[in-house]
């Protein structure tokens, strides 16, 4: 498993987010304890997520079903 440093975020659904720009892996930890890796996520998408007014909304509509993912 790849180590990705997670950063706590202010969200009602997401607990923390991390990104590996070399591998283009976005890791999202949810408040319910589940953690997912999303593959092929560009730096721009990660930055847009982190600057979105609602991280949960951005994740739901722009990441959740748009990228291959795996539960960690």
pLDDT tens string 28-68: 999 999 999 999 999 999 999 999 999 999 999 999 999 99
Q: Is the pLDDT of residue 20 over 90?
A: yes
Please indicate, yes or no, if residue 53 is contained in any of the structural domains: yes
Flag whether 19 is in a domain: yes
The tally of domains found in the chain comes to 1
Residue 42 maps to a domain: yes
Domain encompassing residue 62: 7-71
Q: Note whether residue 1 is domain-resident.
A: no
**69 forms bridges with which residues in the sheet?**
38
Residue 45 falls inside a structural domain: yes
pLDDT at 2: 86
Asked if residue 61 is part of any domain, the answer here is: yes
């Amino acid at each position: 498993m790849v180590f990705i440093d997670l950063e706590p975020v202010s969200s009602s659904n997401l607990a923390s987010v991390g990104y590996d720009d070399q591998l283009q892996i976005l890791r999202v930890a949810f408040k319910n304890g589940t953690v997912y890796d999303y593959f092929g996520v560009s730096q721009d998408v990660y930055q847009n997520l982190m600057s979105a007014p609602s991280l949960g909304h951005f994740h739901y509509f722009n990441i959740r079903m748009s990228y291959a993912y795996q539960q960690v």
